[in-house]
A = this chain, B = another copy of it.
Amino acid sequence: MKGEGAHPFARASGGIGRLIPMAKFMDIHHGMKGVTAKQLQAAHEADLAIESQEGVHFEHAWADPVSGDVFCLSEAPSAGAVQRVHERAGHTADEIHPVPLSI
């Protein structure tokens, strides 16, 4: 199982010495019809710029400009942490799935 146990813990922002367990999440944004490569890159960079506030790391993003669905894969301490980063970056997720199993 690739990636399992790769980063089981991370240090929360401002939490010196406080280790928190990490998990993988797949989140989905609907309604992004017509999204361009530049827009996807800008949105991803907006997440990366602030993700450490919540101890999140966004690893990948994939977009279907026809259906308007965007998928983001992250490692994070919780679904709430993923959503807080997306909200502050200006693009709230419509679904956030913990994906404890991965290949």
C-alpha spacing A34/B13, complex, angstroms: 33
* A24 within 8 A of partner (CB): yes
* A1-B37, A37-B1 known; A102+B67 contact, CB < 8 A: no
Query: Contact between A44 and B98 (Cβ–Cβ < 8 Å)?
Result: no
A31-71 CB contact bits vs B (8 Å, 1 = yes)?
00001110011001000000000000000111111110101
Interface size class on chain A is 20 to 34
Do B66 and A102 have beta carbons less than 8 Å apart?
no
A103 touches B61 (CB 8 A): yes
For A62, list chain B residues within 8 Å (CB): 24, 26, 73, 99, 101-103
Whose C-beta in chain B lies nearest to the C-beta of A4? B37
